[in-house]
Structure 1
């Protein structure tokens, strides 16, 4: 794939002091869109802009087109939806996710009872390694639209997952930073995360199958139209057209934005809890603080489109 070259008359600079304190502009909905009531379930907000529990929906039952439409509106508004006490099977979990599109097969993570299911069975031999902020499979040319995660077994304490609203992160960037990054593109690559587990021959084969992807640093959400900051420390390796040192400094500053608590929601899992998140609008972080307890989860991801 040919690279997109950035055109700037002067080097980019970033704030020298990193994140600053003070009031933050927090908007849950796109400008000009007003909140509307939900008729088919109750929404219990967990955060200001991101995260809500959905009450009154049983995922064992068929989801009608009307319910799916309203759930999608809630997903776009809250970015991640939580459902408790959902005694569903892996097949029912997949059926729910398929309402939003074709399911994705992950080439590097352990599978459950289907190629479309990723099974995370974490214990003292296999501790959690998802404890860094990331957007799922941003190294794909078409990253996942979203994912549905079901917790089967949870530790007595710990093992929470956090999500960050990357539209809020973009909204609160200084104006000069916004002007400088709009129009820039970045390279996303799986190599330094999943490649370390592969032999040299396997790595070359996977790099040929999944070449590094180039995505905009600022992504426009295909349904809401909101601008979201679309770089993450797991998979974004450099900004196209910038000198290495300049690229690294800018990326490190942008990576910090997901760490602002005002943009986050933290979910305490219970057995049979389900989370459904919009991977186009969020990043997430799985806290690895439950050693030596066990945590078992299954995830299915929905094929997305190419960021623009």
Structure 2
């Protein structure tokens, strides 16, 4: 197989040729799935799961197989799931404690039930999720993942994209990996959510949610895979690095994650559900459908504190 060529030692953006990363670490349990079908969306990230109904609770065997599929594919898509909010919540609860989002009630009109966030977009309410990001990295324990349910979709557009940050790390040149492995970055919400919130709300919430530090390279707690863990929405700078150097390095990593070879793209249909591993991928909601209406409901699951390469 022809190998990936890098014109310079760290010029990752100038790379050309095949961009092929392993889908999972070598020790991953890759037995066939017995309880459902798997239709890959790309070679490394995203799969449509067939033969599963997300109502009535999942038995332990099915839940274990779905967990393995989530770790393998990072994004699981379930079509034709005509479920209500209670079913949605019940499915998410089988993966962990649900997350209460502290900011959406200030920036999303009418949002009150903040463990089920309704993302209603129309001609008057613009979609602003079109930045690559991991969810809630401004928190000490960012989300494990999120379950997104399509309630109303536009005739065309409004797709969601995900990028495999484990594959992104694997495809970096060795010297760049060595450079970023020990680094730590600061994450914050003031420059994103804070811009859309009343000043008094920002002042009240700031002591509860100070800026946090996370490793630039996160070790996935279940697979052991190294994953990039910086994103252009919430990452502020690399701790202890000259600002210009920090900006240059982060920009390089952000642009690398944006490579199409690292991504899958979902065209939504009514009653489609997507469940993704926030520890192993970033996502981006395309805002290309206005003035059409797009309504999604999202539930996220509390995760753990990210651990870096040095532990």
Task: Give your verdict on TM over 0.5.
Answer: yes
- The one of 36, 50, 70 equivalent to 1:75 is 70
1:137-152 equivalence runs, <5 A:
137-152=136-151
- The one of 44, 49, 57 equivalent to 1:54 is 49
Q: TM-score with structure 1 length normalisation?
A: 0.93
- The one of 24, 34, 37 equivalent to 2:32 is 37
Corresponding pairs, count:
296
Contact 1:147–1:302 (CA under 8 A) maintained in structure 2 = yes
Q: TM-score with structure 2 length normalisation?
A: 0.92
Q: Which structure 2 segments of 5+ residues have no match?
A: 1-7
Q: How many angstroms apart in 2 are the aligned matches of 1:161 and 1:42? A: 22
Q: How many angstroms apart in 1 are the aligned matches of 2:272 and 2:218? A: 30
Contact 1:19–1:256 (CA under 8 A) maintained in structure 2 = no
Q: Which structure 1 segments of 5+ residues have no match?
A: 1-12
Q: CA deviation at 1:159?
A: 0.4
Q: CA deviation at 1:206?
A: 1.8
Number of the residue aligned with 2:278 = 279
1:99 aligns with 2:94: yes
Q: Which 10-residue stretch deviates more, 56-65 or 87-96?
A: 56-65
Q: CA deviation at 1:23?
A: 1.7
**What do residues 273-303 of structure 1 show as CA deviations (whole Å, max 9, x unaligned)?**
0000000000000000001100000000000
Q: CA deviation at 1:21?
A: 1.4
Q: How many angstroms apart in 2 are the aligned matches of 1:112 and 1:279? A: 23
Q: Which 10-residue stretch deviates more, 56-65 or 260-269?
A: 56-65
Number of the residue aligned with 1:211 = 210
Contact 2:22–2:44 (CA under 8 A) maintained in structure 1 = yes
- The one of 63, 66, 78 equivalent to 2:61 is 66
SS in structure 2 of the partner of residue 225 of structure 1: coil
**What do residues 230-252 of structure 1 show as CA deviations (whole Å, max 9, x unaligned)?**
00000001001101111111111
Q: How many angstroms apart in 1 are the aligned matches of 2:56 and 2:131? A: 35
Q: How many angstroms apart in 1 are the aligned matches of 2:85 and 2:166? A: 31
**What do residues 133-179 of structure 1 show as CA deviations (whole Å, max 9, x unaligned)?**
00000100000000000001000000000000000000011111000
Q: How many angstroms apart in 1 are the aligned matches of 2:238 and 2:81? A: 42
Contact 1:112–1:298 (CA under 8 A) maintained in structure 2 = no
1:1-308 equivalence runs, <5 A:
15=10, 18-33=13-28, 35-109=30-104, 110=108, 114-308=113-307
SS in structure 1 of the partner of residue 191 of structure 2: helix
Contact 2:10–2:175 (CA under 8 A) maintained in structure 1 = no
Number of the residue aligned with 1:6 = none
Q: How many angstroms apart in 2 are the aligned matches of 1:16 and 1:50? A: 25
SS in structure 2 of the partner of residue 209 of structure 1: coil
Q: How many angstroms apart in 2 are the aligned matches of 1:32 and 1:142? A: 26
Q: How many angstroms apart in 1 are the aligned matches of 2:66 and 2:250? A: 34
Tell me the C-alpha RMSD between the 2 structures.
1.5
Are the structure 2 counterparts of residues 113 and 84 from structure 1 closer, same or farther at C-alpha, using a change threshold of 3 Å? farther
Q: CA deviation at 1:16?
A: 5.2
SS in structure 2 of the partner of residue 18 of structure 1: helix
Q: CA deviation at 1:263?
A: 0.7
Q: Which 10-residue stretch deviates more, 55-64 or 227-236?
A: 55-64
